[in-house]
Structure 1
Amino acid sequence: MLHQITYLLFKLNLVQPSEKAILFWMHSLDVEKLEYALKHGNYNTRRLAAEALEHAGKCSSVPVLLHAINDKVQNVSIAALNALEALGCNDELVISITRKRFNWVKEVRDKEAKREANKGKKHKIYRWERASKKSFDRVKEQLKRPIR
């Protein structure tokens, strides 16, 4: 009863559903509420709803998950990708999209790991000396010496 009141208040934009409410909807296989939470929740609610749809979702929730792939928050899009892969609908378009997105996510994670690994390194930059600069410095030093 409490989770239904939470859903009603969520539809009125008064509260965001808690993790317990989303888990309850997942265990009761209430896919419609999870899809609504994925569309209209804040970033944490959207991530939790995508993770819940991974376990409770049906092939009918694929369009909502495909829309969630393009979310601005990276954790939400990754959770939606995981849910699409777990649903395993045999649609060639879904398979190709998830494969391309997983490659993109892997590239982003590799770049971040490389940046973190190189964070403490100091790069040596060699300056090449020009011959004219060397000769100019030599003449300058000679002029500083007293004439005998």
Structure 2
Amino acid sequence: MLFRLNFVQPSARTIRLWMYTDDVEKLEYALKHGNYKTRVLAADALGKTGYTSSIPVLFEAMNDKIQSVSIAALNALELIGCDDELVSTIIQKRFNWVKEKRENDKKREANKGKKHKIYRWERASKKSFDRVKEQLKRPIR
């Protein structure tokens, strides 16, 4: 019997128990409806159980908003070892995407503190403002 995860989130110990007892249905439910920590643990557990029936659920988890969940789903698919060429191609492309994203994040962090000298065009309004300011400094006749 499945319970609603909206009220109670299973702990890591519970998920490990489901993994050892091969409760794939509960793990799939936790992967679909749990919070992000539960989804990561459930994806890892599904990968370790190795059931090919959970591949569609892991494919759905690959497109999760949380990056750690999608990486856990990719790792689980790799552990299951799908012999399908399409599955292996999708996994490889997704890993390349994650690698590129991490590299871009590192570049952004490295350039975060640097100041860039950007050439600013002189605007007409700036010139006119300076001219008015100079006129105001002159004494009035």
- Number of corresponding residues: 122
Contact 1:31 1:57 in 2 (8 A): no
Amino acid in the other structure paired with 1:20: R
Q: 1:1-148 counterparts in 2 under 5 A? A: 8=2, 10-11=3-4, 13-126=6-119
The structure with the larger Rg is: 1
Distance 1:57 1:33, change over 3 A: farther
Which residues of structure 2 form unaligned runs of 5+? Answer: 123-141
The SS at the match of 1:49 is: helix
Contact 2:61 2:73 in 1 (8 A): yes
- Aligned-pair CA distance for 1:127: 6.1
- Aligned-pair CA distance for 1:85: 1.0
User: TM-score scaled by structure 2?
Assistant: 0.77
Distance 1:29 1:107, change over 3 A: same
Once residues 11 and 93 of structure 1 are traced to their aligned partners in structure 2, the CA distance between those partners, rounded to angstroms, is 34
- Aligned-pair CA distance for 1:118: 1.1
- Aligned-pair CA distance for 1:122: 2.2
User: TM-score scaled by structure 1?
Assistant: 0.74
Deviations 1:72-126 (A, max 9, x none): 1111111101111111110111111111111111111111011111112222335
Once residues 78 and 37 of structure 2 are traced to their aligned partners in structure 1, the CA distance between those partners, rounded to angstroms, is 20
Contact 1:25 1:33 in 2 (8 A): yes
Once residues 36 and 128 of structure 1 are traced to their aligned partners in structure 2, the CA distance between those partners, rounded to angstroms, is 58
